[in-house]
Amino acid sequence: MFTVDKIEGDLIKKVDTVITNDYVKVCARDKFCILPQKFVDKFLTRIKQMEVYEDDIWIVTFIKCGTTWTQEMLWMLNNNLDFETALSKTLAERFPFIEIGALMAPVDVDSFEMCSKTPRPRHIKTHLPMFLLPDKIWSVKPKIVYVARNPKDVAVSYFHHYRHMHGYRGTMETFLNAFASNQILYAPYNDHVVDFWKIRNEPNVLFLFYEDMKRNLKLEVLKAMKFLNKNYSEDEINKLCQHLSFESMKNNPSVNFEDLLSMLRELHKTNGLPHIDAFNFIRKGQIGSHKEELTENESKMLNAFVDDPQLKECGFEYKF
């Protein structure tokens, strides 16, 4: 059973936006997740009761952990390196985001229905925590790929995403306070990561690190290839790695969500939000970019994620 609680304090209101607002705390036993009321009203029950198939591939991440990059890698590996389709059909069509319709308050999109009707084998993206995934995932056991990233880079990347995608116009300091206080969309971060780390040895689960992908993409591609029971030549893998390079991804219209960005810019304009600088969905793609943007005090504040006792208890460490 789930309960839906109001969030105490003013901080959550300071990160409300035109796109995403009306936050609530969705709770089950000792777990919770910050989501819009729209998710509870239109998506929660349907997602929990969703039909799941053995040949599904689910990518589950906290937001801004290399999701798009990993989606493209998985789709390519599972579709015989079909570059032609990958370049002509958007990633959103090939690998739909199940709850995105709940995140855009002014837009009525039934993304659950889109995912449900996607031809098999389905590739499904979500940022939901473990306890909000479909119940049948745990009995059917489709392949699940999880990607973790160090919380300081996540926080900075999330701030820029929130400004440009959601229309946030507050300060970075306020946003980081909300992130650190678990009063931001999809929080809490550490619980999200730890729950999947604990099942990383299940045969249907592949746990990856963003930092490993940046440092040795080919090795992580090979891990994913083995996990999906695929086999490609070294030349084919090298070509895929080139396709997945940062410059290639950044300049690839099928993965950089320009249509969505254009729609959001119009929503911002309609609601009187001032124009801000140009933004690419695939922004920097670096390890340690937080060092360029966080103050010393902000960096220390986010140390709470790294020093969280629950990480030590389960043997998990972030990579920097």
Residue 266: per-residue pLDDT = 63
What tokens were used for 291?
Answer: 């060092």
Residue 260: per-residue pLDDT = 61
Which of helix, strand or coil describes residue 126?
A: strand
Which residues, in sequence order, are CB contacts of 267 under 8 Å at separation 6+? Answer: 18, 19, 106, 107, 167
Evaluate the omega torsion of the peptide bond into residue 188 and state whether it is cis, within 30 degrees of 0.
yes
Q: Which sequence positions are flagged as catalytic?
A: 127
Name the average pLDDT for the chain. Answer: 91
Sort strands 57-61 and 31-36 into parallel, antiparallel or unpaired.
unpaired
Residue 258: per-residue pLDDT = 65
User: To the nearest whole percent, how much of the chain has pLDDT over 90?
Assistant: 77
Stated pTM of the model:
0.92
CATH architecture of residue range(s) 3-313 = 3-Layer(aba) Sandwich (3.40)
What tokens were used for 310?
Answer: 């629950």
CB 148 within 8 A of CB 2: no
CA–CA separation, 143 vs 59, rounded Å? 9
What tokens were used for 259?
Answer: 């249509």
Of 68, 119, 97, 47, nearest to 254 by C-alpha is: 68
Write out residues in the chain with pLDDT < 50, as ranges.
Answer: none
Domain residue ranges of the chain, discontinuous segments joined by +: 3-313
- Write the single-letter amino acid at 219: L
